[in-house]
A and B are shown apart, each in its own frame.
Chain A
Protein backbone atom coordinates (compact mmCIF):
# COMPACT_ATOMS: atom_id res chain seq x y z
CA UNK A 1 0.00 0.00 0.00
CA UNK A 2 2.60 2.51 1.09
CA UNK A 3 4.86 0.80 -1.39
CA UNK A 4 2.58 1.93 -4.19
CA UNK A 5 2.94 5.54 -3.14
CA UNK A 6 6.62 5.52 -2.38
CA UNK A 7 8.23 3.01 -4.68
CA UNK A 8 11.60 2.75 -3.00
CA UNK A 9 9.92 1.55 0.18
CA UNK A 10 7.85 -1.02 -1.72
CA UNK A 11 11.02 -2.59 -3.08
CA UNK A 12 12.42 -2.91 0.44
CA UNK A 13 9.24 -4.68 1.51
CA UNK A 14 9.59 -7.20 -1.32
CA UNK A 15 13.15 -8.09 -0.37
CA UNK A 16 12.31 -8.23 3.31
CA UNK A 17 9.50 -10.67 2.58
CA UNK A 18 11.69 -13.01 0.61
CA UNK A 19 14.34 -12.92 3.33
CA UNK A 20 12.16 -15.14 5.48
CA UNK A 21 11.49 -17.67 2.74
CA UNK A 22 13.37 -20.91 2.27
CA UNK A 23 16.25 -20.80 -0.19
CA UNK A 24 15.30 -22.17 -3.59
CA UNK A 25 18.79 -23.20 -4.57
CA UNK A 26 20.26 -26.69 -4.26
CA UNK A 27 23.72 -27.70 -3.16
CA UNK A 28 25.18 -29.35 -6.17
CA UNK A 29 27.77 -32.04 -5.60
CA UNK A 30 26.05 -33.97 -2.82
CA UNK A 31 23.83 -36.60 -4.30
CA UNK A 32 21.11 -36.19 -1.67
CA UNK A 33 20.83 -32.43 -2.05
CA UNK A 34 20.62 -32.22 -5.80
CA UNK A 35 17.63 -31.30 -7.85
CA UNK A 36 15.89 -34.30 -9.35
CA UNK A 37 16.25 -35.18 -12.99
CA UNK A 38 13.05 -35.47 -14.91
CA UNK A 39 12.22 -38.86 -16.35
CA UNK A 40 12.67 -37.65 -19.90
CA UNK A 41 15.94 -35.94 -19.14
CA UNK A 42 18.35 -36.27 -22.04
CA UNK A 43 21.90 -36.86 -20.95
CA UNK A 44 24.62 -38.28 -23.13
CA UNK A 45 23.64 -41.15 -25.42
CA UNK A 46 24.46 -44.66 -24.21
CA UNK A 47 24.05 -48.17 -25.62
CA UNK A 48 21.48 -50.51 -24.14
CA UNK A 49 22.27 -54.05 -23.02
CA UNK A 50 20.12 -57.05 -23.74
CA UNK A 51 20.25 -58.91 -20.44
CA UNK A 52 18.47 -61.97 -21.86
CA UNK A 53 21.27 -62.90 -24.23
CA UNK A 54 24.07 -60.86 -22.66
CA UNK A 55 24.84 -58.75 -25.68
CA UNK A 56 24.13 -55.20 -26.75
CA UNK A 57 21.01 -54.38 -28.70
CA UNK A 58 23.12 -52.52 -31.19
CA UNK A 59 23.82 -54.29 -34.46
CA UNK A 60 26.13 -51.61 -35.74
CA UNK A 61 23.77 -50.61 -38.55
CA UNK A 62 25.28 -47.13 -38.72
CA UNK A 63 22.01 -45.27 -39.12
CA UNK A 64 22.66 -43.08 -36.08
CA UNK A 65 26.13 -42.35 -37.34
CA UNK A 66 24.80 -41.07 -40.64
CA UNK A 67 22.05 -39.05 -39.01
CA UNK A 68 24.20 -37.42 -36.33
CA UNK A 69 24.34 -33.67 -37.04
CA UNK A 70 27.82 -33.34 -35.58
CA UNK A 71 29.32 -36.63 -36.79
CA UNK A 72 30.39 -37.50 -33.29
CA UNK A 73 30.08 -41.30 -33.59
CA UNK A 74 31.87 -44.17 -35.30
CA UNK A 75 30.98 -47.86 -35.25
CA UNK A 76 31.92 -51.16 -36.76
CA UNK A 77 29.81 -54.27 -37.16
CA UNK A 78 30.77 -57.96 -37.06
CA UNK A 79 29.08 -61.33 -37.42
CA UNK A 80 27.41 -62.31 -34.21
CA UNK A 81 29.13 -65.45 -32.80
CA UNK A 82 25.99 -66.25 -30.79
CA UNK A 83 23.76 -66.42 -33.86
CA UNK A 84 21.56 -68.41 -34.30
CA UNK A 85 21.62 -70.65 -31.21
CA UNK A 86 21.58 -68.06 -28.47
CA UNK A 87 20.64 -64.85 -30.26
CA UNK A 88 18.54 -63.74 -33.15
CA UNK A 89 20.94 -61.01 -34.15
CA UNK A 90 23.01 -61.94 -37.15
CA UNK A 91 25.28 -58.95 -36.85
CA UNK A 92 26.46 -57.31 -33.70
CA UNK A 93 28.34 -54.13 -32.92
CA UNK A 94 32.10 -54.63 -32.78
CA UNK A 95 33.38 -51.19 -31.86
CA UNK A 96 31.45 -48.07 -31.09
CA UNK A 97 32.85 -44.73 -30.13
CA UNK A 98 31.08 -41.50 -29.33
CA UNK A 99 33.01 -38.33 -28.83
CA UNK A 100 30.82 -36.90 -26.13
CA UNK A 101 32.70 -33.62 -26.37
CA UNK A 102 31.15 -33.16 -29.78
CA UNK A 103 27.73 -34.56 -28.94
CA UNK A 104 25.05 -31.87 -28.81
CA UNK A 105 22.51 -34.12 -27.07
CA UNK A 106 19.87 -33.59 -29.71
CA UNK A 107 18.43 -37.11 -29.43
CA UNK A 108 18.31 -37.68 -33.17
CA UNK A 109 20.29 -40.93 -32.84
CA UNK A 110 17.60 -42.27 -30.51
CA UNK A 111 14.85 -41.28 -32.91
CA UNK A 112 16.39 -43.01 -35.88
CA UNK A 113 17.47 -46.24 -34.15
CA UNK A 114 15.26 -49.13 -35.17
CA UNK A 115 16.72 -51.57 -32.68
CA UNK A 116 16.16 -49.62 -29.43
CA UNK A 117 19.90 -49.86 -29.11
CA UNK A 118 20.74 -46.28 -28.18
CA UNK A 119 19.11 -44.21 -25.48
CA UNK A 120 19.66 -40.80 -23.97
CA UNK A 121 20.94 -41.80 -20.55
CA UNK A 122 20.79 -39.59 -17.47
CA UNK A 123 24.57 -39.26 -17.52
CA UNK A 124 25.62 -35.63 -17.60
CA UNK A 125 28.76 -35.22 -15.55
CA UNK A 126 31.60 -36.14 -17.82
CA UNK A 127 34.18 -33.42 -17.43
CA UNK A 128 37.66 -34.42 -18.42
CA UNK A 129 40.98 -32.69 -18.21
CA UNK A 130 42.09 -33.57 -21.74
CA UNK A 131 40.80 -32.31 -25.01
CA UNK A 132 38.91 -35.18 -26.57
CA UNK A 133 38.98 -36.84 -23.17
CA UNK A 134 35.37 -37.78 -23.66
CA UNK A 135 35.84 -40.25 -26.47
CA UNK A 136 33.82 -43.03 -24.98
CA UNK A 137 34.22 -46.59 -26.24
CA UNK A 138 31.78 -49.46 -26.45
CA UNK A 139 32.45 -50.77 -22.95
CA UNK A 140 31.81 -47.46 -21.22
CA UNK A 141 28.80 -46.72 -23.40
CA UNK A 142 27.29 -50.04 -22.43
CA UNK A 143 28.03 -49.55 -18.75
CA UNK A 144 26.43 -46.09 -18.95
CA UNK A 145 23.48 -47.67 -20.69
CA UNK A 146 23.14 -50.47 -18.16
CA UNK A 147 23.09 -48.15 -15.21
CA UNK A 148 20.46 -46.09 -17.01
CA UNK A 149 18.39 -49.19 -17.77
CA UNK A 150 18.54 -50.22 -14.12
CA UNK A 151 17.66 -46.73 -12.92
CA UNK A 152 14.53 -46.27 -15.00
CA UNK A 153 13.53 -49.93 -15.48
CA UNK A 154 14.03 -49.65 -19.19
CA UNK A 155 12.08 -51.85 -21.58
CA UNK A 156 12.55 -51.89 -25.37
CA UNK A 157 9.90 -49.87 -27.14
CA UNK A 158 9.46 -52.57 -29.73
CA UNK A 159 10.09 -55.82 -27.84
CA UNK A 160 8.63 -58.20 -30.39
CA UNK A 161 11.05 -57.00 -32.98
CA UNK A 162 14.08 -56.18 -30.98
CA UNK A 163 14.41 -58.79 -28.21
CA UNK A 164 17.36 -61.03 -28.93
CA UNK A 165 16.11 -64.22 -27.30
CA UNK A 166 15.53 -67.06 -29.78
CA UNK A 167 12.27 -68.17 -28.04
CA UNK A 168 10.21 -65.65 -29.93
CA UNK A 169 12.00 -66.67 -33.08
CA UNK A 170 9.14 -68.72 -34.48
CA UNK A 171 6.67 -65.94 -34.85
CA UNK A 172 8.87 -63.06 -35.72
CA UNK A 173 11.95 -64.51 -37.37
CA UNK A 174 10.84 -63.25 -40.69
CA UNK A 175 10.05 -59.88 -39.27
CA UNK A 176 13.60 -59.57 -38.06
CA UNK A 177 15.24 -60.61 -41.24
CA UNK A 178 13.09 -58.56 -43.55
CA UNK A 179 12.72 -55.78 -41.07
CA UNK A 180 12.13 -52.56 -42.78
CA UNK A 181 13.75 -49.68 -41.08
CA UNK A 182 10.71 -47.63 -40.32
CA UNK A 183 10.24 -44.14 -39.22
CA UNK A 184 9.89 -44.33 -35.48
CA UNK A 185 7.13 -41.75 -35.47
CA UNK A 186 5.03 -42.19 -38.55
CA UNK A 187 5.55 -45.86 -39.25
CA UNK A 188 6.25 -45.18 -42.86
CA UNK A 189 9.20 -46.81 -44.56
CA UNK A 190 12.12 -44.51 -44.48
CA UNK A 191 13.41 -42.98 -47.59
CA UNK A 192 17.07 -42.69 -48.26
CA UNK A 193 18.13 -45.09 -45.55
CA UNK A 194 18.11 -48.58 -46.87
CA UNK A 195 18.27 -51.28 -44.29
CA UNK A 196 21.80 -52.59 -43.78
CA UNK A 197 22.15 -56.28 -44.34
CA UNK A 198 21.29 -58.17 -41.25
Chain B
Protein backbone atom coordinates (compact mmCIF):
# COMPACT_ATOMS: atom_id res chain seq x y z
CA UNK B 1 0.00 0.00 0.00
CA UNK B 2 1.54 3.24 -1.08
CA UNK B 3 1.63 6.39 1.01
CA UNK B 4 -0.98 8.11 -1.13
CA UNK B 5 -3.44 5.26 -0.59
CA UNK B 6 -3.00 5.51 3.18
CA UNK B 7 -3.50 9.23 2.91
CA UNK B 8 -6.73 8.80 0.93
CA UNK B 9 -8.09 6.31 3.44
CA UNK B 10 -7.24 8.66 6.28
CA UNK B 11 -8.82 11.61 4.48
CA UNK B 12 -11.98 9.59 3.85
CA UNK B 13 -12.17 8.60 7.49
CA UNK B 14 -11.74 12.18 8.64
CA UNK B 15 -14.34 13.48 6.20
CA UNK B 16 -16.75 10.74 7.25
CA UNK B 17 -16.18 11.46 10.90
CA UNK B 18 -16.78 15.17 10.43
CA UNK B 19 -19.86 14.79 8.29
CA UNK B 20 -21.41 12.23 10.61
CA UNK B 21 -20.75 14.47 13.61
CA UNK B 22 -22.37 17.33 11.74
CA UNK B 23 -25.37 15.15 10.99
CA UNK B 24 -25.67 14.27 14.66
CA UNK B 25 -25.59 17.94 15.64
CA UNK B 26 -28.31 18.76 13.15
CA UNK B 27 -30.28 15.73 14.25
CA UNK B 28 -30.32 16.69 17.93
CA UNK B 29 -31.56 20.14 16.99
CA UNK B 30 -34.16 18.69 14.63
CA UNK B 31 -35.41 16.25 17.22
CA UNK B 32 -35.75 18.90 19.88
CA UNK B 33 -37.60 21.19 17.52
CA UNK B 34 -39.83 18.42 16.22
CA UNK B 35 -40.77 17.24 19.70
CA UNK B 36 -41.34 20.81 20.77
CA UNK B 37 -43.76 21.38 17.92
CA UNK B 38 -45.61 18.17 18.72
CA UNK B 39 -45.97 19.34 22.29
CA UNK B 40 -46.84 22.94 21.38
CA UNK B 41 -43.59 24.26 22.75
CA UNK B 42 -40.96 26.34 21.01
CA UNK B 43 -37.87 24.22 21.54
CA UNK B 44 -34.48 25.88 21.63
CA UNK B 45 -34.66 29.54 20.66
CA UNK B 46 -31.75 31.16 22.44
CA UNK B 47 -28.39 30.22 20.96
CA UNK B 48 -28.00 31.64 17.49
CA UNK B 49 -30.80 32.32 15.06
CA UNK B 50 -33.85 30.31 16.19
CA UNK B 51 -31.57 28.37 18.49
CA UNK B 52 -29.71 26.81 15.62
CA UNK B 53 -26.43 26.75 17.52
CA UNK B 54 -27.96 24.97 20.51
CA UNK B 55 -26.31 21.62 19.67
CA UNK B 56 -22.92 23.35 19.63
CA UNK B 57 -23.58 24.87 23.01
CA UNK B 58 -24.74 21.50 24.30
CA UNK B 59 -21.67 19.69 23.10
CA UNK B 60 -19.39 22.37 24.55
CA UNK B 61 -21.17 22.01 27.86
CA UNK B 62 -20.84 18.24 27.80
CA UNK B 63 -17.15 18.34 26.96
CA UNK B 64 -16.34 20.77 29.75
CA UNK B 65 -18.33 18.87 32.34
CA UNK B 66 -16.64 16.77 34.97
CA UNK B 67 -16.17 13.14 34.06
CA UNK B 68 -17.34 11.22 37.09
CA UNK B 69 -15.92 7.82 37.93
CA UNK B 70 -17.92 5.88 40.53
CA UNK B 71 -15.77 4.55 43.36
CA UNK B 72 -16.47 0.89 42.72
CA UNK B 73 -16.54 1.10 38.98
CA UNK B 74 -14.54 -1.37 36.95
CA UNK B 75 -12.29 1.25 35.44
CA UNK B 76 -11.19 -0.45 32.26
CA UNK B 77 -14.66 -1.64 31.36
CA UNK B 78 -16.21 1.65 32.38
CA UNK B 79 -13.99 3.79 30.16
CA UNK B 80 -14.01 1.36 27.24
CA UNK B 81 -17.79 1.02 27.07
CA UNK B 82 -18.51 4.30 25.24
CA UNK B 83 -15.94 3.40 22.63
CA UNK B 84 -17.41 -0.07 22.25
CA UNK B 85 -20.74 1.53 21.48
CA UNK B 86 -19.41 4.29 19.29
CA UNK B 87 -17.02 2.34 17.04
CA UNK B 88 -19.63 -0.04 15.56
CA UNK B 89 -21.97 2.87 14.97
CA UNK B 90 -19.20 4.60 13.10
CA UNK B 91 -17.96 1.51 11.28
CA UNK B 92 -21.34 0.93 9.70
CA UNK B 93 -20.83 4.03 7.66
CA UNK B 94 -17.87 2.53 5.86
CA UNK B 95 -20.15 0.88 3.37
CA UNK B 96 -23.32 2.92 3.38
CA UNK B 97 -23.60 4.83 0.13
CA UNK B 98 -25.40 8.15 0.06
CA UNK B 99 -25.32 8.37 -3.72
CA UNK B 100 -24.00 6.11 -6.42
CA UNK B 101 -20.60 7.76 -6.15
CA UNK B 102 -20.33 8.98 -2.60
CA UNK B 103 -19.37 6.03 -0.46
CA UNK B 104 -16.26 5.27 1.55
CA UNK B 105 -15.82 1.74 0.27
CA UNK B 106 -18.62 -0.08 -1.49
CA UNK B 107 -18.52 -3.71 -0.43
CA UNK B 108 -20.21 -6.51 -2.31
CA UNK B 109 -21.27 -7.93 1.03
CA UNK B 110 -22.35 -4.51 2.32
CA UNK B 111 -25.58 -5.63 3.98
CA UNK B 112 -23.91 -8.57 5.62
CA UNK B 113 -21.20 -6.29 6.97
CA UNK B 114 -23.75 -3.81 8.34
CA UNK B 115 -25.77 -6.41 10.19
CA UNK B 116 -22.61 -8.00 11.54
CA UNK B 117 -21.24 -4.70 12.86
CA UNK B 118 -24.51 -3.44 14.27
CA UNK B 119 -24.74 -6.38 16.69
CA UNK B 120 -21.54 -5.28 18.39
CA UNK B 121 -23.09 -2.31 20.18
CA UNK B 122 -24.86 -4.66 22.63
CA UNK B 123 -21.46 -5.42 24.07
CA UNK B 124 -20.80 -1.77 24.81
CA UNK B 125 -24.13 -1.37 26.60
CA UNK B 126 -23.51 -4.46 28.70
CA UNK B 127 -20.02 -3.21 29.53
CA UNK B 128 -21.40 0.16 30.54
CA UNK B 129 -24.03 -1.45 32.72
CA UNK B 130 -21.64 -3.79 34.43
CA UNK B 131 -18.75 -1.36 34.74
CA UNK B 132 -20.79 1.36 36.42
CA UNK B 133 -21.23 -0.62 39.64
CA UNK B 134 -24.79 0.60 39.90
CA UNK B 135 -27.76 -1.68 40.25
CA UNK B 136 -29.85 0.43 37.94
CA UNK B 137 -27.11 0.34 35.34
CA UNK B 138 -26.87 -3.44 35.56
CA UNK B 139 -30.61 -3.78 35.10
CA UNK B 140 -30.46 -1.44 32.14
CA UNK B 141 -27.54 -3.32 30.65
CA UNK B 142 -29.30 -6.66 30.99
CA UNK B 143 -32.48 -5.25 29.53
CA UNK B 144 -30.46 -3.88 26.61
CA UNK B 145 -28.84 -7.23 26.01
CA UNK B 146 -32.14 -9.07 26.01
CA UNK B 147 -33.89 -6.54 23.85
CA UNK B 148 -31.19 -5.96 21.27
CA UNK B 149 -30.38 -9.62 20.75
CA UNK B 150 -34.07 -10.58 20.42
CA UNK B 151 -34.82 -7.93 17.87
CA UNK B 152 -31.68 -8.70 15.89
CA UNK B 153 -33.52 -11.68 14.40
CA UNK B 154 -36.52 -9.93 12.78
CA UNK B 155 -34.18 -7.07 11.83
CA UNK B 156 -31.89 -9.34 9.86
CA UNK B 157 -34.80 -11.35 8.45
CA UNK B 158 -36.40 -8.20 7.09
CA UNK B 159 -33.11 -7.23 5.47
CA UNK B 160 -32.86 -10.74 4.05
CA UNK B 161 -36.20 -10.31 2.33
CA UNK B 162 -34.85 -7.28 0.52
CA UNK B 163 -31.66 -9.08 -0.35
CA UNK B 164 -33.71 -11.89 -1.90
CA UNK B 165 -35.68 -9.45 -4.00
CA UNK B 166 -32.61 -7.62 -5.18
CA UNK B 167 -30.50 -10.78 -5.49
CA UNK B 168 -27.62 -8.83 -4.03
CA UNK B 169 -26.05 -7.73 -0.79
CA UNK B 170 -24.54 -4.64 -2.41
CA UNK B 171 -26.42 -1.54 -1.32
CA UNK B 172 -25.77 0.36 -4.54
CA UNK B 173 -27.14 -2.57 -6.46
CA UNK B 174 -30.21 -2.75 -4.20
CA UNK B 175 -30.96 0.90 -4.88
CA UNK B 176 -30.47 0.40 -8.59
CA UNK B 177 -32.98 -2.49 -8.48
CA UNK B 178 -35.58 -0.09 -7.08
CA UNK B 179 -35.31 2.19 -10.06
CA UNK B 180 -38.84 1.48 -11.25
CA UNK B 181 -40.64 0.41 -8.09
CA UNK B 182 -39.43 0.73 -4.53
CA UNK B 183 -39.41 -2.31 -2.29
CA UNK B 184 -41.73 -0.64 0.17
CA UNK B 185 -44.51 -1.22 -2.32
CA UNK B 186 -43.46 -4.80 -2.93
CA UNK B 187 -42.89 -5.70 0.71
CA UNK B 188 -44.94 -3.47 3.00
CA UNK B 189 -44.72 -6.16 5.63
CA UNK B 190 -40.96 -6.14 5.38
CA UNK B 191 -40.89 -2.39 5.87
CA UNK B 192 -43.10 -2.72 8.95
CA UNK B 193 -40.91 -5.41 10.47
CA UNK B 194 -37.75 -3.52 9.62
CA UNK B 195 -38.91 -0.24 11.11
CA UNK B 196 -40.32 -1.82 14.26
CA UNK B 197 -37.29 -3.91 15.00
CA UNK B 198 -35.03 -1.02 14.08
CA UNK B 199 -36.78 1.14 16.68
CA UNK B 200 -36.13 -1.60 19.20
CA UNK B 201 -32.51 -1.84 18.10
CA UNK B 202 -32.14 1.89 18.57
CA UNK B 203 -33.89 1.78 21.91
CA UNK B 204 -36.32 4.47 20.91
CA UNK B 205 -39.89 4.94 22.04
CA UNK B 206 -41.92 2.73 22.38
CA UNK B 207 -39.00 0.38 22.95
CA UNK B 208 -36.76 2.64 25.04
CA UNK B 209 -36.82 0.09 27.79
CA UNK B 210 -33.16 -0.24 28.53
CA UNK B 211 -32.66 3.43 29.33
CA UNK B 212 -36.19 4.20 30.52
CA UNK B 213 -36.07 7.43 32.49
CA UNK B 214 -38.93 6.59 34.78
CA UNK B 215 -37.86 3.02 35.48
CA UNK B 216 -34.11 2.50 35.36
CA UNK B 217 -33.18 6.21 35.25
CA UNK B 218 -31.11 6.04 32.10
CA UNK B 219 -30.04 2.42 32.38
CA UNK B 220 -26.44 1.78 31.36
CA UNK B 221 -25.68 5.48 31.09
CA UNK B 222 -26.83 6.41 34.58
CA UNK B 223 -23.35 6.90 36.03
CA UNK B 224 -21.76 8.50 32.98
CA UNK B 225 -21.31 12.21 32.59
CA UNK B 226 -19.50 14.73 30.45
CA UNK B 227 -17.56 13.64 27.41
CA UNK B 228 -18.12 9.92 27.90
CA UNK B 229 -21.83 10.32 28.14
CA UNK B 230 -21.76 12.46 25.04
CA UNK B 231 -20.10 9.64 23.13
CA UNK B 232 -23.06 7.40 23.96
CA UNK B 233 -25.31 10.17 22.84
CA UNK B 234 -23.37 10.62 19.62
CA UNK B 235 -23.59 6.90 18.91
CA UNK B 236 -27.30 6.83 19.60
CA UNK B 237 -28.06 9.61 17.18
CA UNK B 238 -25.66 8.24 14.63
CA UNK B 239 -27.51 4.94 14.81
CA UNK B 240 -30.82 6.72 14.39
CA UNK B 241 -29.54 8.39 11.26
CA UNK B 242 -28.07 5.15 10.00
CA UNK B 243 -31.38 3.36 10.41
CA UNK B 244 -33.23 6.14 8.62
CA UNK B 245 -30.78 6.04 5.71
CA UNK B 246 -30.94 2.25 5.59
CA UNK B 247 -34.73 2.36 5.47
CA UNK B 248 -34.54 4.71 2.55
CA UNK B 249 -31.92 2.66 0.77
CA UNK B 250 -33.56 -0.72 1.33
CA UNK B 251 -37.22 0.12 1.00
CA UNK B 252 -37.83 3.62 -0.29
CA UNK B 253 -35.72 3.58 -3.41
CA UNK B 254 -32.69 5.46 -2.10
CA UNK B 255 -31.58 8.23 -4.40
CA UNK B 256 -33.07 6.72 -7.53
CA UNK B 257 -35.14 9.13 -9.54
CA UNK B 258 -36.88 7.71 -12.57
CA UNK B 259 -36.07 10.53 -14.98
CA UNK B 260 -32.88 12.05 -13.69
CA UNK B 261 -31.74 14.22 -16.59
CA UNK B 262 -28.36 15.28 -15.22
CA UNK B 263 -25.02 13.57 -15.02
CA UNK B 264 -21.83 14.02 -13.08
CA UNK B 265 -21.59 16.43 -10.20
CA UNK B 266 -25.08 17.85 -10.52
CA UNK B 267 -26.50 14.34 -10.53
CA UNK B 268 -24.63 13.44 -7.38
CA UNK B 269 -25.80 16.58 -5.58
CA UNK B 270 -29.42 16.15 -6.57
CA UNK B 271 -29.34 12.48 -5.61
CA UNK B 272 -27.91 13.35 -2.24
CA UNK B 273 -30.60 15.95 -1.63
CA UNK B 274 -33.31 13.53 -2.69
CA UNK B 275 -31.95 10.90 -0.33
CA UNK B 276 -31.76 13.38 2.51
CA UNK B 277 -35.36 14.46 1.96
CA UNK B 278 -36.53 10.87 2.17
CA UNK B 279 -34.35 10.31 5.20
CA UNK B 280 -35.82 13.30 6.98
CA UNK B 281 -39.28 11.91 6.36
CA UNK B 282 -38.29 8.66 8.06
CA UNK B 283 -36.64 10.59 10.88
CA UNK B 284 -39.79 12.66 11.36
CA UNK B 285 -41.74 9.42 11.67
CA UNK B 286 -39.34 8.25 14.37
CA UNK B 287 -39.64 11.55 16.26
CA UNK B 288 -43.39 11.54 15.83
CA UNK B 289 -43.65 8.09 17.33
CA UNK B 290 -41.43 9.21 20.18
CA UNK B 291 -43.74 12.14 20.82
CA UNK B 292 -46.83 9.97 20.97
CA UNK B 293 -46.30 6.56 22.45
CA UNK B 294 -45.75 5.24 25.93
CA UNK B 295 -43.25 2.47 26.33
CA UNK B 296 -43.85 -1.23 26.59
CA UNK B 297 -42.86 -3.44 29.47
CA UNK B 298 -39.92 -5.76 28.99
CA UNK B 299 -42.02 -8.94 28.92
CA UNK B 300 -44.49 -7.40 26.49
CA UNK B 301 -41.58 -6.32 24.34
CA UNK B 302 -40.20 -9.85 24.28
CA UNK B 303 -43.63 -11.31 23.57
CA UNK B 304 -44.12 -8.86 20.74
CA UNK B 305 -40.74 -9.70 19.30
CA UNK B 306 -40.78 -13.48 19.58
CA UNK B 307 -44.46 -14.18 19.14
CA UNK B 308 -45.28 -11.70 16.42
CA UNK B 309 -42.28 -10.19 14.68
CA UNK B 310 -40.15 -13.32 14.36
CA UNK B 311 -42.94 -15.48 12.83
CA UNK B 312 -43.94 -12.60 10.60
CA UNK B 313 -40.41 -12.10 9.38
CA UNK B 314 -40.14 -15.80 8.54
CA UNK B 315 -43.45 -15.62 6.70
CA UNK B 316 -42.12 -12.61 4.87
CA UNK B 317 -39.18 -14.61 3.62
CA UNK B 318 -41.38 -17.58 2.71
CA UNK B 319 -43.78 -15.55 0.59
CA UNK B 320 -40.88 -13.75 -1.07
CA UNK B 321 -39.27 -17.07 -1.84
CA UNK B 322 -42.48 -18.50 -3.26
CA UNK B 323 -43.05 -15.53 -5.51
CA UNK B 324 -39.46 -15.51 -6.72
CA UNK B 325 -39.24 -19.27 -7.17
CA UNK B 326 -42.34 -19.54 -9.28
CA UNK B 327 -41.56 -16.32 -11.09
CA UNK B 328 -44.88 -14.76 -10.18
CA UNK B 329 -45.34 -11.04 -10.88
CA UNK B 330 -44.31 -8.73 -8.06
CA UNK B 331 -47.82 -7.44 -7.38
CA UNK B 332 -48.69 -10.88 -6.02
CA UNK B 333 -46.03 -10.35 -3.39
CA UNK B 334 -47.45 -6.91 -2.69
CA UNK B 335 -50.87 -8.39 -2.09
CA UNK B 336 -49.61 -11.25 0.06
CA UNK B 337 -47.43 -8.92 2.07
CA UNK B 338 -50.21 -6.39 2.49
CA UNK B 339 -52.64 -9.06 3.66
CA UNK B 340 -50.16 -10.29 6.23
CA UNK B 341 -49.53 -6.72 7.42
CA UNK B 342 -53.25 -6.06 7.88
CA UNK B 343 -53.50 -9.43 9.60
CA UNK B 344 -50.71 -8.47 11.96
CA UNK B 345 -52.41 -5.21 12.89
CA UNK B 346 -55.66 -7.11 13.43
CA UNK B 347 -53.87 -9.57 15.69
CA UNK B 348 -52.48 -6.70 17.77
CA UNK B 349 -55.90 -5.13 17.91
CA UNK B 350 -57.81 -8.32 18.72
CA UNK B 351 -55.23 -9.33 21.26
CA UNK B 352 -55.76 -6.09 23.09
CA UNK B 353 -59.54 -6.04 22.83
CA UNK B 354 -60.12 -9.63 23.86
CA UNK B 355 -58.00 -9.60 26.96
CA UNK B 356 -58.80 -6.08 28.01
CA UNK B 357 -62.02 -4.22 27.56
CA UNK B 358 -61.59 -0.50 27.84
CA UNK B 359 -64.93 0.37 29.44
CA UNK B 360 -64.44 -0.93 32.93
CA UNK B 361 -65.29 2.42 34.45
CA UNK B 362 -69.01 3.01 34.81
CA UNK B 363 -70.83 6.10 35.96
CA UNK B 364 -73.10 5.93 39.00
CA UNK B 365 -75.47 8.85 39.23
CA UNK B 366 -75.19 10.82 42.44
CA UNK B 367 -78.99 10.97 42.57
CA UNK B 368 -79.27 7.20 42.78
CA UNK B 369 -76.76 7.05 45.58
CA UNK B 370 -78.52 9.83 47.49
CA UNK B 371 -81.94 8.24 47.10
CA UNK B 372 -80.82 5.10 48.91
CA UNK B 373 -81.60 5.86 52.52
CA UNK B 374 -79.18 3.58 54.26
CA UNK B 375 -76.21 3.30 52.05
CA UNK B 376 -73.55 0.67 52.21
CA UNK B 377 -70.90 1.17 49.57
CA UNK B 378 -70.01 -2.45 49.00
CA UNK B 379 -73.59 -3.57 48.41
CA UNK B 380 -74.17 -1.36 45.42
CA UNK B 381 -70.84 -2.06 43.88
CA UNK B 382 -70.53 -4.41 40.98
CA UNK B 383 -67.18 -6.10 41.14
CA UNK B 384 -65.96 -5.30 44.59
CA UNK B 385 -65.65 -8.82 45.93
Contacts and interface: CB of A to CB of B under 8 A. Distances in A.
Interface of A: 5-8, 11-12, 14-16, 18-19, 21-25, 27
Nearest to A21: B40
Given A5-B349, A15-B291, A16-B288, A27 B42 contact: yes
Nearest to A26: B42
Contacts of A6: 345, 349
A105 to B, nearest CB: 28
B40 A23 contact: yes
A39 B289 CA distance: 42
A128 B293 CA distance: 41
Interface stretch (B31-39, B123-131, B214-222, B325-333): B31-39
B41 interface: yes
B45 interface: yes
Contacts of B291: 15
Contacts of B42: 23, 25, 27
Contacts of A22: 40
Contact of B39 (A8, A11, A16, A18): A18
B292 interface: yes
B41 A25 contact: yes
Nearest to A13: B292
Contacts of A23: 36-37, 40-42
A25 B40 contact: yes
Given A15-B288, A16-B288, A8 B293 contact: yes
Contacts, number: 35
Contacts of B288: 12, 15-16
* A-side interface mostly: helix
Nearest to B206: A8
B26 to A, nearest CB: 19
Contacts of B37: 19, 23
Nearest to B42: A23
A11 B288 CA distance: 10
Contacts of A16: 288
Q: Which of B37, B40, B42, B349 has the most CB of A within 10 A?
A: B40
25 contacts: A5-B349, A6-B345, A6-B349, A8-B293, A11-B293, A14-B292, A15-B38, A15-B288, A15-B291, A15-B292, A16-B288, A18-B38, A19-B37, A21-B40, A23-B36, A23-B37, A23-B40, A23-B41, A23-B42, A24-B40, A24-B41, A25-B40, A25-B41, A25-B42, A27-B42
A24 B349 CA distance: 34
Contacts of A11: 292-293
Contacts of A24: 40-41
B40 A18 contact: yes
* B-side interface mostly: helix
A8 B289 CA distance: 10
Contacts of A21: 40
Contacts of B293: 8, 11
Interface string B127-139: 0000000000000
A38 to B, nearest CB: 22
Contacts of A8: 293
Contacts of B292: 11-12, 14-15
B98 to A, nearest CB: 28
Nearest to B289: A12
A22 B349 CA distance: 34
B139 to A, nearest CB: 27
B288 to A, nearest CB: 7
Nearest to A14: B292
Interface string B35-70: 011111110010000000000000000000000000
A172 to B, nearest CB: 54
A25 B40 CA distance: 7
Contacts of B41: 23-25
Interface in B252-297: 288-289, 291-293
B344 to A, nearest CB: 12
Contacts of B45: 27
Nearest to A8: B293
B144 to A, nearest CB: 24
A15 B38 CA distance: 6
A25 B44 CA distance: 12
Nearest to B36: A23
Contacts of A12: 288-289, 292
A22 B40 CA distance: 6
A6 B348 CA distance: 9
A18 B37 CA distance: 8
A159 B273 CA distance: 73
A53 to B, nearest CB: 47
Contacts of B345: 6
Nearest to A12: B292
Q: Which of A8, A11, A16 has the most CB of B within 10 A?
A: A8
A19 B349 contact: no
A8 B288 CA distance: 12
Interface in B7-44: 36-42
A18 B40 CA distance: 7
Nearest to B291: A15
Interface in B315-358: 345, 349, 352
A16 B100 CA distance: 35
A27 B42 CA distance: 9
B199 to A, nearest CB: 13
